[in-house]
Amino acid sequence: MLTAKQHELLLFIDGRLKESGISPSFDEMREALDLKSKSGVHRLISALEERGFIRRLPNRARALEVMKLPETRPSATVTPIRPVVSAPANDVQEIPLHGRIAAGTPIEALQGTENFSVPSALLGPGEHYALEVSGDSMVDEGILDGDFALIRKVDTARDGEIVVALIDNEEATLKTFRREGSMIRLDPANRQYEAQRYDPRRVQIQGRLAGLIRRY
């Protein structure tokens, strides 16, 4: 029998995979389960893996697969976290597709005026737009070259959020936002790339990652 936290994490991973096909990050899992550190997430994942409920996919960072769901509920009551919004398969929304955005070296962004069809269940409140990902600097967050990033329009960010950051009003990039003293640091999720540091006056937040769509 799974503990309440193990059950809660398993449902969260399963729900995120069904929503976007991408495993949640360790930070997202830690926040969703209200844990104080990532080490608690690692212990829960190891326990689920040992019991055969999930498996780690080889050669893919942060990639998890749900093998089965428990037939019985845990001994403690579980409060659903970030529930999946139900919507008919044909319920879609058209949002602007603003070209390609770098998950590597910044490139010019927010070009183009095409529309992009997105299942309504993938979009929460607020205004959204889509960007096609170019580059591999965010692969450890499960964001791959050619993915379509669904972006919620916001102009502020908290540490640890993946954002669209416009640099010097010319170039944009998709990175994890951090504050470092008086500077803003934009972190990649690929060891081959280095963090980028900017004076806050050079950086404009144009949105926060809300989801991903991958076409096969």
Q: In angstroms, rounded to a whole number, what is the distance separating the alpha carbons of residues 95 and 30?
A: 30
Of residues 20, 23, 25, 137, which has the active-site annotation? 137
Burial class (CB in 10 A: 0-12, 13-18, 19+), 169: exposed
Q: Which pair of tokens denotes residue 3? A: 């503990």
Q: In what helix (H) or strand (E) does residue 27 lie, and over which residues does it extend?
A: helix 26-32
Of residues 20, 23, 25, 175, which has the active-site annotation? 175
For residue 155, the SS3 value is coil
Fill in the DSSP letter of residue 82. Answer: S
Quick check: 189 and 174 in contact, CB under 8 A? Answer: no
Q: Which pair of tokens denotes residue 39? A: 């080490």
Q: In angstroms, rounded to a whole number, what is the distance separating the alpha carbons of residues 71 and 140?
A: 32
Torsion-angle region of 97 (φ positive above 0: left; ψ -120 to 50: alpha; else: beta): beta
Q: In angstroms, rounded to a whole number, what is the distance separating the alpha carbons of residues 203 and 177?
A: 11
Assign 3-state DSSP to the chain and report helix, strand, coil percentages, each to 5. 20, 35, 45
Q: Catalytic site residue 137? A: yes
Angle at 208 between CA 148 and CA 167, to 5 degrees: 95
Give the active site residues.
Answer: 137, 175
